[in-house]
Every structure is written in C-alpha cells, then in structure tokens.
Amino acid sequence: MDSKKLTLSNGAPYFEHQDSQTVGPRGPVLLQDFILQENLAHFVRERIPERIVHAKGSGAYGTFTVTHDISQYTRAKLFSKVGNSCRMFARFSTVGGEKGSADTARDPRGFALKFYTEDGNWDLVGNNTPVFFIKDAKKFPDFIHTQKRVPKTNLKSATMMWDFWSLNPESLHQVLILMSDRGTPYGYRHMHGFGSHTFSMINSQNERVWVKFHFKTKQGIKNFTDEEAVKMAGENPDFAQEDLCNAIENGEFPKWTMYIQVMTEEQAKDFRWNPFDVTKVWSHDDFPLIEVGEMELNEVPVNYFAHVEQSTFSPSSLIDGISFSPDKMLQGRLFSYPDAHRYRVGVNAHQLEVNRCPFAVNNYQRDGFMADSSHYQDQPNYHPNSFDDLKPDPAYKSYEYELDSAHVAHYNRNDNDADHYTQPGLLYTKAMNPEDRASLISNIVGSMKGISGPKREEIINRQLCHFFRTNIELGMKVASQLNINIDANMMNHSK
C-alpha cells in the first residue's frame, strides 16, 4: 500500500521538510524557499483571538433524546414526540480566566449546548448556576473588567472584585454560590447546568409560556474544597479537560437529565419578583421541574482547535417553538454573542463543521472571509428572484404579542425589584447544610482578605452590610473572621 505524500497547501508534494534552502551548507537562507515561508507564515497564524470570557473550555459531541412529552408547551419539532433525538455538541468552560488558566479556578462554569435539529441549530448558552451577577447587559463590560486584570499591574485584584460587588447588591445571590464549594466543581461531569435566563415556548395553538431550562447531572454533584482546588491548579491545571476526555474514552459517557419550569403569562404578572430577572430563581415548590429528556456525551472531538476552539454559541440561535423573553441580560446577549463570533472566528463561522447545520441552510448571505460556495454555488444572491425555488414558509411566522407599555425610557433596573437579599438568604438557610455554610464563610473570608489599599475598610464594611441583610449569622461570622468590630451603625444599615 502506497504511503501518503507530504504536500504543500496547494496539494503539491515536496521532500525538503527538515532543511531550509541555503547558499552553501553554512550560508544564508534563500527567500525563494517558499516551503519554509508557507510553514512559518501559517504557524504564526495558527491562533484566533481567544474568547474575552469563557476562554478556557472543554467540549464533546453527544446525543439528546426526548423522554417525556412537552408538546403542549412547544411546537418545536424536536419535542413533537417521545423518542425523538438529535446530535449535539457541548462546551464547558471557566469564565474569567485566560485560555491557559487553571480548570479548578473559583469561577462560574459555562454550560453551552448546541442541538443539531431538523429545524436548524438551537443553542442553549447557560452556566452551572441558575442566576447571574447582574441583570442588565449594559453593566457586563464593567463587571467582566473586575474579574480580569488591573490595567497597571496586569494582576487579578480582590479589591476591584469586592468593590464592584459591594456597590452592586444584585450580585449577592451569585456571589454566595460562587464563594461556596459550587464555585470549584470537580470537573465538568459533576455539575448541573442551567439556561439561567427566562425563555419562552410557543405551541401549535400559538400560545406562549415562559420557561427555564435545567440539566441535572446523573453523575452526582461533586465539588473541590478551596484547598483541593488550589492544589489541583498546581498539579494539573487541565484537570477538567482530562477528566472529561478520559471518561468518554473509557466508555463512561456523562449524562444529564433535562427539565423545564413553566410559568404562564398570567402567573408572571403576579410573581413576587420580576420573572425575567436573571439574578432571581423560580421556586421549585411553585413551579416544579418537568422532565423532558436526556443528554449524553459520547464523542471526543478529533481536533480540539477545529471543534472546541472554533465552536460558536449564541442565545439568538433559536428554533421555531422556542424563543426569548424580556430578560435584559438575555436581550443584550442576543447581539453580543454573534457579534463576538463574527470578530473572533469570522462572518462565515457558521460554515465550519462544528457550527454548521447538518440539514438545509438556504439564504442569500454571500462572500466574506473564508466563504465556501459548495452549497449555494451559482444560485441568486438576492430575493425575490425568478430563478430559485426558495419560499418563506408562513408556518414559521414569528409569534405576535402586545407590549405592556409604549413608553420609552432608561428605566432603573431595580425599580420595584430591589429585593436582593431574600433569595440569597434562603440559599444560605435552606439550600446549604452546616458544612456548606462553613465552607462558604471560609472562602469569603479568604477572598476578602485580599482586599487592599486606602478603600479597604470602606469596601469590606459595605459588603458586610449586604451579608447582614442576607442573614445576621452570615454577617457576624464573616466579620468575626475578618477581625472587624461590628458597630451599631453597621447593624442599623443592615436592617
């Protein structure tokens, strides 16, 4: 059997891969050695801009299977009957660190899913937490800057993190989750996933309900303690990547059960909080989990860069029967995510294997960097025209609805929705056991000890007021371990 020939990018075979062409054995290298030029030129262009957030991640292919009927809520073809299935791709990630950072860093974890359905690709882009730090996308760049590096020193800073959080009490719910052991999950297989935002489903009768998506790990929740996470960061900063790859290669395919919560439009009007506020959760007692299906990851991508690094996800990748909501953070992501992909990967990123819809894609988008015309070839690039048979299908007409108000303004995001403490308080008293609370306090104290500079006392006291408002015991224990004397003034501010 003939072996394959080594070739250049144009397919021409060549032999001299190890030695440059020179003038004599010790002479200068010639500019005409185009083999050297091509290999070096490609090498320095092997990387694309890393993601601003979610830069360090792992991915795998798998299958999603519908196990329970939810067709009463959505007309999406994927959910039209029990037993339906589709191929999918999942990418898990840390959020704040760079591409070379440690997998075990204290951070939320991205939980991004791409379902390759017959009605197009559906992306559900969430986290391993049901809430987020902020409720308006306008605040997102400022928040992420505090999770990155100080411009002068290029060092991470506990001071700027806690300064921002103490000035933005809406972050408290997520901060308590982050500072618990849930902030350092044991790899990606042992954590839940959430769509986090409120989405909508529309059924065949053109009726809409609000939904939240949940993915519960079938491997069981498992977290590192802070000490274990720090130790593992030094021993194996790629722990989560290795854990996921090894499990799949060994046939221990990780699985998650998908659930939804459903809220009617009438229930949304009477809900205690803004149902579209991503810093809040819906009580499972009031809105119980409804089982939908199972996701299994069973295939490690053959090339990390081509599939995991070049994968793109966006909440705007929706399919008929699943739509968005007025969630301000979600609305911002509908723009920012596809915009990031156009910058990072290119305007034709959707043509790459990992992002490509395996079913029909018919539109009039043409050209741009890395355009591949193998699908549309010489078809018209305008509509309407007299030559192709593409027709907009009225069955996919968008859901029509009335808005509650026609008044345009920059509304304060916290108007009539300034309760930042009840749900974090319930998290602390109801969802956490004594061991969880002890770890939470220890992790908070360890982080806040890093606050420095002339505003140190001001920042700590401001954050302690939030903890006191959440739960007196929480505030007292954090203050005690930080050696802060609690005065009456602070207690009065917390009431």
Catalytic residue among 39, 42, 54, 471: 54
Catalytic residue among 121, 127, 274, 471: 127
| Reduced DSSP (H G I as helix, E B as strand, rest coil) percent helix, strand, coil of the chain, to 5 | 30, 15, 50
CA atoms of 338 and 188, how far apart (whole Å): 25
Angle formed at CA 113 by CA 301 and CA 106, multiple of 5 degrees: 90
pLDDT score of 98:
96
The pTM of the full predicted model, rounded to 2 decimals, is 0.94
Is 383 a catalytic site residue?
A: no
Note the pLDDT tens digit of each residue in 304-336.
999 999 999 999 999 999 999 999 999 999 999
Angle formed at CA 279 by CA 220 and CA 426, multiple of 5 degrees: 65
Q: Are 112 and 90 in contact (CB under 8 A)?
A: yes
pLDDT score of 404:
85
End-to-end CA distance of the chain: 81
Q: Which residues of 275-311 are buried (b: 16+ CB within 10 A; e: fewer)?
A: bbbbbbbbeeeebeeeebbbbbbebbbeeeeebbbbb
pLDDT score of 491:
60
pLDDT score of 1:
67
pLDDT score of 2:
77
pLDDT score of 493:
57
Rg, the chain, Cα only = 26
CA atoms of 227 and 235, how far apart (whole Å): 12
Note the pLDDT tens digit of each residue in 107-126.
999 999 999 999 999 999 99
* Segments of the chain scoring below 70 in pLDDT: 1, 488-495
Note the pLDDT tens digit of each residue in 446-492.
999 999 999 999 999 999 999 999 999 999 999 999 999 887 556 65
Is 54 a catalytic site residue?
A: yes
Report the relative pairing of strands 109-117 and 208-217 from DSSP bridges: unpaired
Q: Collect all residues with Cβ–Cβ distance below 8 Å to 464 and sequence separation of at least 6.
A: 475, 478, 479, 484, 486, 490, 494
Q: Could you tell me the sign of the dihedral formed by the alpha carbons of 215, 217, 218, 221, in that order?
A: negative
